[in-house]
Amino acid sequence: MRRLVLLPEEGLETSLGFPLREGTYLIGRSQGCDILIGDRSVSRRHARLTLTGADVQLFDLGSVNGTFVGGFRVDRTQISAGQCVRFGQAPFRLVWRLSDVASEPCEDEATDRRPSRCLAKEISGLTPAQRRVHALLLEGLSELQIARQLNVSANTVHTHVKAVYRQLDVNTRAQLLSRTITTIQQLTRSPGDSFPPM
């Protein structure tokens, strides 16, 4: 299932960004914000993001350092996947993700058998940059496409891909996809279900 994610650009400390569901999100430095950004250029209550279906509205809440979309300061605007958004000096990109399941919260890790929890444990040893590359690999992007999307060199992406493969004990993208699908099937299967072998 596709889901919109507010993904920090390279250099910000995060794992997989902020998955968005339908609703309203307060963005800022305050602990009461839905999307907490620990950058000093971000106001305590900086902006509000409202998601209704695929429609995403962004409202600046009178922040000191401004909210920018595509390099232009905005008070209120509609944004779409692929656009760059900057809160003060903190850059983000709104993207569609197929593989953001690992970022969902869990109430009880001991009994939670959702694929998201198992996948989160599998990638817990990866750096934030490696997790972003992992997510894009699962979407089917080539290393060159990943490099362009993350605005890094192809060599950097290749190094991250090798680290992801090493961490997950696979040698190819096909093995990575197979492992992920098998994990999801095993965890979503009811006791009487059977799946054809892959």
pLDDT at 93 over 70: yes
The rounded mean pLDDT for the chain is: 75
pLDDT the model gives residue 123: 66
Four-point Cα dihedral 173, 177, 182, 185, nearest 10: 180
Q: What distance in Å separates the CA atoms of residue 20 and residue 35, rounded to the nearest whole number?
A: 10
C-alpha distances in angstroms, 83 versus 58, 72, 92, 120, 194? Answer: 12, 12, 9, 27, 42
| Angle formed by the axes of helices 115-122 and 173-188, nearest 10° | 140
User: Worst-scoring range by mean pLDDT, 9-13, 24-28, 123-127, 180-184?
Assistant: 9-13
Q: Do 6 and 85 form a contact (C-beta atoms < 8 A)?
A: yes
Which ranges in 59-127 belong to alpha helices (H)? 115-122
pLDDT the model gives residue 152: 84
pLDDT the model gives residue 81: 81
Mean pLDDT of 43-48: 95
Question: What strands lie across the sheet with 3-8, from one edge to the other?
Answer: 18-19, 3-8, 90-97, 84-87, 67-69, 72-74
Cβ partners under 8 Å of residue 18, min gap 6? 5, 6, 7, 25, 35, 103
What confidence category does residue 109 fall into, taking pLDDT thresholds of 50, 70 and 90? Answer: very low
Indicate the SS3 state at residue 2: coil
In terms of Cα–Cα distance, which of 109, 102, 104 is closest to 130?
Answer: 102
pLDDT the model gives residue 54: 75
Q: What distance in Å separates the CA atoms of residue 195 and residue 113, rounded to the nearest whole number?
A: 18
pLDDT the model gives residue 88: 92
Mean pLDDT of 127-156: 84
What confidence category does residue 77 fall into, taking pLDDT thresholds of 50, 70 and 90? Answer: very high
What confidence category does residue 172 fall into, taking pLDDT thresholds of 50, 70 and 90? Answer: confident
Q: Which residue has the higher pLDDT, 196 or 19?
A: 19
The answer to pTM > 0.95 is no
pLDDT at 126 over 80: no
What confidence category does residue 99 fall into, taking pLDDT thresholds of 50, 70 and 90? Answer: very low
